[in-house]
Amino acid sequence: MKKGLFLFSLILVSCTPSSETYTSETTSTSIEKEIISNTTTTDENITTTTINRDLMRENFRRAWEAILNDPIQLSAEEVELTNYLYELWTWKGDKWTPEEENFYELRVNGLSCYRIWNAMGWAWLDEVHPIDGDYSKRYWAVERYMCGDNISLFGAPFYYENSWWIYQSFEFSWDMVDCENPCGTGVGHFAKRVQIDSDDEIYETTLPDS
Q: What's the gap between Cα 185 and its chain centre? A: 8
Q: Dihedrals φ, ψ of 13, to 5°?
A: -65, -45
- The size of the chain, in residues, is 210
From CA 99, how far away is CA 177, in angstroms rounded? 39
Closest CA to 99 of 114, 121, 87, 78: 114
Write out the E strands in 41-150: 105-108, 111-115, 122-125, 136-137, 140-148
Query: What 3-state class would DSSP assign to 194?
Result: strand
Question: Could you tell me which residues come within 8 angstroms of residue 65 by beta carbon, excluding any fewer than 6 positions away?
Answer: 139
What pLDDT sits at residue 117? 85
What pLDDT sits at residue 113? 97
From CA 182, how far away is CA 202, in angstroms rounded? 44
Which helix (DSSP H) or strand (DSSP E) does residue 24 occupy?
helix 2-66
What pLDDT sits at residue 209? 79
What pLDDT sits at residue 34? 43
pLDDT of the chain, 210 residues: tens digit per residue: 444 433 334 333 343 443 333 233 333 344 343 433 444 444 444 455 566 889 999 999 999 999 999 999 999 999 999 999 999 999 998 889 999 999 999 999 999 999 998 767 899 999 999 999 888 999 999 999 999 888 999 999 999 999 999 999 999 999 999 999 999 998 989 999 999 999 999 999 999 976
DSSP for residue 124:
E
Q: Dihedrals φ, ψ of 81, to 5°?
A: -70, -40
From CA 39, how far away is CA 45, in angstroms rounded? 10
- Sorted by where each begins, the domain ranges of the chain are 76-204
